[in-house]
Structure 1
Amino acid sequence: MNTNAKHTYTLSELASALGAGLIGDGERRVSGLATLTDAGPDDIAFLANRAYLKYLGTTRAAAVLLHPSYAEHCSMHVLTLENPYLGYAHLSHFFDLSPVGSVPGIDATAVVDESVSIGERVSIGPGAVIGANVTLGDDVIIGPGCSVGPDCEIGARSLLHANVTLYYGVVIGKRAIIHSGAVIGGDGFGFAHDGSQWHKIAQIGGVVIGDDVEVGSCTSIDRGALGDTVIGNDVKIDSQVQIAHNVHIGDHSALAGCVGIAGSTHVGRQCLLGGGVGLAGHLEICDGVQVTGMSLVTNSIEVPGVYSSGTGSMPNKLWRKNAVRYKQLDDMAKRLTRLEKLGRGDKNDAQGE
């Protein structure tokens, strides 16, 4: 049970806000949100995965949000939705108590250049540094210790948590959330070699981030070498992701933790990249592609669908045997070709293979 909850809601209030059906007492109040197994008598729980149906009979929750087809299995108050997981996402905000330091004003320890354009109700936290010619839209929140370089633009209602760094000329759209430690607009990895040493290539592009984007903690998005690195609208990026120079990511895509995307690769709309996925440089990934975790993509993908590479875990002894066999695959393929030719009676070609 969430004993720290500051607000309680009636089930009728929650059902109305979610557009959900209600079975039971609409005046019953709840003060927390929890899983079926952890819920207490004043919590609302949710069921979005059939695997957890077995816990409906033992949950202590006051009410459960679930699909209408499961309502008959539930003896307590019920909220019904066709997509209960989406309902849970909306419901979570009713019980979110995280402070975001949104009191408007500029902390006395912040350093704000006199040329900065500041919208209405902007909050700039302790120790933040805002460079020249920056534009901050209405209701923007800049957390403690953030560094916003010259000529950046941050759209209305965007939030930078503590210690976010924006290099110069970064453009961020409306309602973005950037988590602590993220670095946006740093130099891309560009060097030329003369045979004996490396020579740095100036990265003179920028970074443009659309509306409703979320960037996880300690993620790096490099500026473009010539053109911009572009993150589309409603893109969700997890923590510790590396996005190299001139990468483009289409609207509504999502990248899980530790994804790495090399330079100049374009990822389409509605793409999903699992944890640890690596994309080589200069690739084109079409719309509607899902790449499962820890996969390495070295060629462009032109057909929507689910793609995987690598092998799943197995006992080490079996893995070592298979690793040896991987090295033998080319030889085995040649032997199979010879056998196929012999089977067709093409003995001369088979002998000359």
Structure 2
Amino acid sequence: MKNLLFSPITIGNVNFKNRVFMSPMCQYSAQNGLVNQWHITHYLSRAIGGAGAIVIEATAVEPRGRITPFDLGLYNNEQKNAFLELINIIKKFSPDTKIGIQLAHAGRKGSKDKPWLGEKLLTKQENGYDTIAPSQIAFDENSSMPKQINKQELDFVKESFIKSAKMAKEAGFDFIELHMAHGYLLHEFLSPLSNQREDEYGGSLENRMRFPLEIAKFVREVVEIPLFVRISATDWAKDGWDLESSIEFSKQLKLLGVDLMDVSSGGLVPYAQIDSDFGYQTYFSYKIKHEADILVSAVGLIADAYQAEHILSSKQADIVVMGRALLSDPYWCLHAAKVLNVDIDWPQQYLRAKHI
């Protein structure tokens, strides 16, 4: 049987050695938005562990765009140079691993403490900051009341995404992913549960898609590397963003030159009723892949090599994005290849362990 998981794929102008990508997963370990030794160790180990691509965690395009004060950022040259160092180190030891970055803005879900410290709302004295959103609606009772973003601030956010995309290219990233999922700013514009504006950016589906589509359009115009978009295919909540809207949104993004849809779900409201199980989101990726006719990646409780291979062979997705499985095992790819009886390259320093 032909193996797909460890077969190459070309997306845009970039060739990927296999179809196992590391999902962007926040580490909440930065100071002043800067990459440090934790990030170098974290990402390098997954690269030498065989992942076809690494997607660097949600990286804020401006200070208010951070989820916590400990998020990575890409809005000044010091941060850009730190990313350049990270990429050079990864490429030195794993030159065929492609590296992308997820550019993000937290919107109304910002100014929180680290998850393991309770995600409490931070005051200004605790390095907290004001948040913005499409409408003045808080995420929950433990979140700040965001300021409704005005036209001038909309332009500022757009320029911030453009500036960060340019710096990502200058730092040497192979591709860019725009974060439009999980209840953060661009998802907040998409969903009628969080967007109750009465101007051209609210109301109809066309209007709610307008701002995220503008950002995708402008980023596409300034970088030629592959452009991915992560979406939440559904809010898992009544009267919220849904699969049908996601399919239409994906069609519009494809017209703008987006290369791949990274299909996740949820995150917009705390009362969502999520029916989660292994591979619980692959139905969404399958529908978007076939109805929008665009490359897609599947993510969400994918842990087993056979499961991952089945997702690809059954055409539910073109890429498998691994999250918690790679947190648990940096060398998941090396082990999965052995399970599937596929011979892939190992780091020379580890060859003595390849056949045990």
Instruction: Bin the TM-score by the shorter chain.
Output: under 0.3
TM-score if structure 2 supplies the norm length?
Answer: 0.25
- Structure with the bigger RCO (C-alpha within 8 Å, sep 6+) is 2
TM-score if structure 1 supplies the norm length?
Answer: 0.25
Structure with the higher fraction of residues in strand conformation: 1
Structure with the higher fraction of residues in helix conformation: 2
